[in-house]
Chains A and B, each alone.
Chain A
């Protein structure tokens, strides 16, 4: 993980943010992320994010649950400890369907929650930069990653021209870390250059 330089534009209207995202992408700048106070339909498509693979993961977890249930019950009730239930055959699939279904749902649900946390880097004590605390309140924050070739002045002027209310250059940690925001001044925004 490393500290990188970002140009951060703050917007106060979702109707301005949408065309701004389009214009920024068309101009060839790389959007690191957009932080919004609430989910916005269609923003992911506008940002060019690919569809999530969470469903595929869910399917695989579900299949794993199905196989686990069927193979374990089969082993337990036919090989390890066969019990005669009301004269039914040892291998009686219909009776196992409810358990198989439950395990499928359980595996898929728990697996998908964990995968979701993994993909979003969510866990207890894990901290991430989100550039402007007001992005949880009333501000839409667009963070653009700078490379060696980025011309700061030009980018700031460009963001202002597409409707940003306030633009700043920030050095921020790109990944996550364990810790607390109030004690971690090294990673949490020491070098902030205000810009016009």
Chain B
């Protein structure tokens, strides 16, 4: 039997992804119409407008961080000299090819919010307001339009360029096998250097400054040093779930012959472990604030844990902690396509809710504005991910045949 190395997206796959994208665009239009007009006064009008932009912000940032987590996974395993993921490494590579696409959308949305006339979401963009507010005035060096714009653009460009470089390095071997041990060593070392660069950029952005700027600054008075770690945990576990979904899809379509249950098991372990890690950070952030009980800190959790949004809060606790803990704990469930697919979808949805909780309680304090259009916007981004990943998957062979560590992955045991 010959190997099916070259993926071609079936017609149905492309139709579905294009339909999802069209559905997303329609949802954005629908959301715009439903939030504009009919407001009683100017204040309500600003709130409604912010609610529209908040939905775009939540979805674009969430899906950007999720696809970006794929490149983090590749670089982290490269630095650790892990070989086990080589059998399916082209899948996270293809997913990370979505970063520039969603990155452009996300930057456009973020800059539109930042430089727009409505200051409801980022109220530190309102200069008059900042002048009267000593807390925001103190943070002016970090929270200002110029710094926000430059950092945002630079970050997305760096993610895209370094990710592109890692993909190029991997694909450079496809038609030119490495002749001897010395050149293999050199190749791995080159990989290590670029992966290390990516990790440094990643830790300075996703693990610290970017969630502060993009999400935490919505509650500009409040701060938590744990916030970025917790956002990273959220995006990474969802990113692993996305990889699992694509791996299962490709396995069912007859590709990825050398990826077996051992590899799926290890992806499942990542999903399990980082669900627990997410819970640890989520709870630590909550407990310290709950225990200290200082008003300027508890203001963040008041609407989320006790107020209007407490339903989503507890739903998240069930979806993101109890379900992975109990369902993914056993060995067999991590080796079965059905449970892995179900849990991957559940985790992706659960962490989408997590980002919803980060954005909306500050933007819409008087009601939980979740309507079907929000899910429509999310599906639009899913369509983008499917379409671009499908295109990227078909561009290169599905197995990095000449990579020095591929053999290690093929004979991998859990």
Contact = CB atoms under 8 A, between A and B. Distances in A.
A124 interface: no
A26 interface: no
A94 B413 contact: no
Contacts of B291: 86, 88, 94-95
Contacts of B287: 94-95, 97-98
A100 to B, nearest CB: 11
A98 B283 CA distance: 10
A42 B330 CA distance: 19
Contacts of B129: none
A55 interface: yes
A59 interface: yes
A113 to B, nearest CB: 19
Contacts of B286: 94
B390 to A, nearest CB: 36
A88 B287 CA distance: 13
Contacts of A51: 331
Contacts of A86: 291, 293
A50 interface: no
A147 to B, nearest CB: 35
Contacts of A41: 413
Contact of B413 (A42, A55, A87, A98): A42
Interface string B253-290: 00000000000000000000000000000010011001
A129 B381 CA distance: 64
Contacts of A97: 283, 287
B329 interface: yes
A86 B291 CA distance: 8
A51 B286 CA distance: 40
Interface in A68-110: 86-88, 94-95, 97-98
A79 to B, nearest CB: 22
A171 to B, nearest CB: 37
Interface string A39-56: 001100000000100010
A55 B331 contact: yes
Contacts of B329: 59
13 contacts: A41-B413, A42-B413, A55-B330, A55-B331, A59-B329, A86-B293, A87-B293, A88-B291, A94-B283, A94-B286, A94-B290, A95-B287, A97-B287
